[in-house]
Structure 1
């Protein structure tokens, strides 16, 4: 039993190390994530790293290709649209049904303040965690366990998107969170729902625009490489 606990601890350590590497380095979709690299970095065997990569694949953050290795998953425009449409539906519903208590209002207000501070200090990983915490707090406060389960699974997949939205929309997030928190504090559920939808749609649009620009850039690079006289 003790061996199993140690193994799980090492796997979790590898899991967090790989996520932080993705967040800090922003490797391209063609950069291989090797078991050897992370095992050496952590001073552990490859087995926990392999388990962590498999877990990250199930979360939709990594893709593992047979005989090639592991790579950061790149979301298509369709995947981004689907994920954020679902997120909007779940969180807008939560804003409409959540029991509004002083504890919830205080939790959201404190989260907004932490988000502002983390943005100023440039603590990217902590900022993303706080962003997740804000939205999860509203969903969890509904008391709907199935809603929370589905939302938690969605949040795992959206973590990779949040690495990109930090650069694209982080400056707008504190004010959006504050608007949602203030509407909930006033017990204005319709406004809370609207602010939630507007916030998620803004992020979704920014991601889709960035995705389109990336696709256009790759297509232009491919076209250039295929011109007569270009190196093959």
Structure 2
């Protein structure tokens, strides 16, 4: 009798477990923005060595969730209403330009890649992988926009953008909305409809902005602009 179909028990490395626990605590609000985290105190609390904690801090910093201060540890990121508003004002214009340029230059392979990424983001149950996939969707558009200055400008907004993608990844409702918004963007690109693609991106960015405002202030979920059906 074969045992090949018996699934193995997943065992995550300690550094991944530590990272996931800290990340979840930050996103769910158990650790408030502005809180100072030190390797020593966190390792004592979690009953682990400082090494996996240090690795977790680095990963969280790359995702915009903490800011590492030399010799002081990590500070849980907090952004003012003004900072978030200004970032999204810039992001809206830059992302709309990116999708317009990409629509003009993308090839069939690029469109297939975008559809595949959208499907992968809809299927994954891993929060970190979800953020990575959604970042890759926008990075693919930037690649086909083929504008180095535009890429550099958007990279300056990454702390807020990555931070907010992580917050959104924990909401089933927002994830479903993002899936539909991405489908609308890619469908418009496939049709070479630059105007529709730009408008779909505007709605996507603004819906993200409204969600983050509500999420950070713990208000009721805002009304979402619904794109036309694909």
Q: What's the TM-score once normalised by structure 1's chain length?
A: 0.70
CA 104–64 in structure 1, closer or farther in 2 if over 3 Å, else same: closer
Matched residues in 2 for 1:18 and 1:77: separation?
30
Q: Which has the higher helix share?
A: 1
**1:117 aligned residue (123, 147, 158):** 123
Matched residues in 2 for 1:67 and 1:138: separation?
38
**2:108 aligned residue (90, 102, 110):** 102
Matched residues in 2 for 1:146 and 1:20: separation?
35
Aligned length: 194
1:70 maps to 74
Indicate whether 1:24 and 2:29 are aligned: no
2:51 maps to 44
Specify the SS of the correspondent of 1:28: coil
CA 20–133 in structure 1, closer or farther in 2 if over 3 Å, else same: farther
Q: What's the TM-score once normalised by structure 2's chain length?
A: 0.70
Deviations 1:9-29 (A, max 9, x none): xxxxx8x99865553322322
1:164 maps to 167
Deviations 1:51-107 (A, max 9, x none): 949x939x8643467997532111222111111222111110011112121111111
1:212 maps to 217
Q: What is the CA-CA distance between 1:153 and the residue it aligns to? A: 3.5
Gaps of 5+ in 1: 1-13, 215-232
Q: What is the CA-CA distance between 1:158 and the residue it aligns to? A: 1.6
Q: What is the CA-CA distance between 1:109 and the residue it aligns to? A: 0.6
2:202 maps to 197
CA 38–95 in structure 1, closer or farther in 2 if over 3 Å, else same: farther
Matched residues in 2 for 1:84 and 1:17: separation?
32
